[in-house]
Amino acid sequence: MYEKALLIQIGIKRKVMYRKAKMLGFTHPLVVACSQELDQLLNRYQGKAS
């Protein structure tokens, strides 16, 4: 159950990041922050939680 919820969160965060990047550019601080949040979710999913 936890794994499925994490995958949903990853999918949502990825879509949000792409939308922000399209509007603001990939190097905008808000996009970078979103990318870092996505990285954290992916690390958790892969079992590398910090």
13: nearest Cα among 46, 45, 37, 29: 37
Whether the Cβ atoms of residue 35 and residue 46 lie closer than 8 Å to each other: no
Whether the Cβ atoms of residue 35 and residue 15 lie closer than 8 Å to each other: no
- From first to last of the 50 residues of the chain, give the pLDDT tens digit: 789 999 999 999 999 999 999 999 999 999 999 999 999 999 999 997 65
User: How far apart are alpha carbons 17 and 1 in whole angstroms?
Assistant: 24
Whether the Cβ atoms of residue 8 and residue 16 lie closer than 8 Å to each other: no
* Sole residue written with tokens 């079992």: 47
User: How far apart are alpha carbons 7 and 28 in whole angstroms?
Assistant: 25
pTM for this predicted structure: 0.87
